[in-house]
Amino acid sequence: MTTKAYVLIETAIGRTQQVVESLRNMPGVTAADAVTGPYDVIIVVETRDPNEVGKLVMNEIHGLDGVNHTLTCLTI
């Protein structure tokens, strides 16, 4: 069974498009869109289990240049 999550991302000023492009090429990310509001990008992540979502966010997404903050919302 797969685990699906929405990750809301705040980016550095002027870096949103670069972050979106990097995310769209990342394994496990099925959608990445720039949005308006308190967050700049929302992505959909699908992995084999919840631990992999955490590893992807902490090890890959947080490591992207221009990512300031994330909020991960697991689906139920």
Whether residue 67 is predicted with pLDDT greater than 90 in this model: the reply is yes
For the entire predicted model, the pTM comes to: 0.95
CATH of domain 3-74: 3.30.70.920
Q: Put residue 21 in one of left, alpha, beta given phi > 0 → left and psi -120 to 50 → alpha.
A: alpha
- Tens of pLDDT, residues 9-53: 999 999 999 999 999 999 999 999 999 999 999 999 999 999 999
Give the domain ranges of the chain. 3-74
Beta strands in 1-76 (DSSP E): 3-11, 29-34, 41-47, 67-74
